[in-house]
Amino acid sequence: MYPELKGKTAIVTGAGRSAGLGAAMARRLAAEGARLVLADLGTGPERTGMPDELAALAAELEAGGADAVAVACDMLVPAQVQALVDAAIARFGQVDILVNNAGVGDIMKPIVELSVQEWDTVLGVNLRGVFLATQAVARHMIARGGSGRIVNIASQAAKSAFPHAAAYTASKHGLVGLTRVAALELGPHGINVNAICPNHVTTGLGAWQNEHFSQLAGQSVDEYLADMRRRIPLGRPGLQEDTANACAFLCSDQSRYMTGESMNVSGGEEYH
């Protein structure tokens, strides 16, 4: 659909879950002919070991004809984030697209029970990590003459509040603010910065959230999902490919006059 993406280099963070949003977006961009740099938290005490699922995704994309490389990266460590960008430049010459997808969404507790460490973990990965990656990639894009796309994966929680999700909701609301500021500052350099706000998607993390929130509501998972379907005008939760399709659009020339936006991909459940 988007031939202009052929040969573009895209970094996708948080791509290490085979059924996750990051992997889905990487596959979608690869299908358009983009070259992929896949990142996720490394293994081992130094977080530098290669995660199995991340390596498997790179191998899958390569087997399908794409050019892809996997890089272990802790998004909280500035040196590792810079090394990720440097690795992309060393392999492909430049970075054209950054998809900030890495995040923490499995720390769900009432405010009165949430520890400072847990708060810092969520805000660190979901917001500081995006800042570090955006800064490193934007510096590169500006130095090479400008132009590029930055897509931040926010959430319905960037627009609405949910119980037990104080840190997550705060981080995603903050991500919308960061997106807007980055759009203002980077627009003169031809860099578009937008966010996607999906509603619930049953990834591996989403399955955990189904269990958590159904128990909170005193329901079975099936009852919880049935209620979810009833409140979504299009009648179903989101799918990985819904977010992946929105990402490809925002990376394409079809969205060249969009920046600073936070696009709902929610089947009509979220509309502001």
pLDDT for 205 equals 66
All residues at 6 or more sequence positions from 1 whose CB lies less than 8 Å from its CB, including other chains:
32, 248, 252
Domain boundaries, the chain: 3-201+239-258, 206-237
CA angle at 115 for the pair 114 and 116, rounded to the nearest 5°: 125
Give the tens place of pLDDT for each residue, 13-23. Answer: 999 999 999 99
Q: Nearest-CA neighbor of 52 among 100, 87, 101, 17?
A: 17
Q: Is residue 58 within 8 Å of 69, Cβ to Cβ? A: yes
The predicted-structure confidence for 64-79, as pLDDT tens digits, reads as follows 999 999 999 999 999 9
The average pLDDT across 117-135 equals: 98
Question: Can 271 be counted among the known catalytic residues?
Answer: no
CATH 3.40.50.720 fits 3-201+239-258, yes or no: yes
Total residue length of the chain: 272
The two structure tokens encoding residue 38: 């896949």
Catalytic residue among 2, 168, 224, 257: 168
d(CA 193, CA 91) in angstroms, rounded, equals 24
Identify the residue whose tokens are 């794409």.
Answer: 66
CA gap 19, 6 in Å, rounded: 24
Overall average pLDDT of the 144-149 stretch: 97
Over residues 207-258, the pLDDT tens digits come to 777 787 788 889 998 888 899 899 999 999 999 999 999 999 999 999 999 9
Cβ 134 vs Cβ 150: under 8 Å: yes
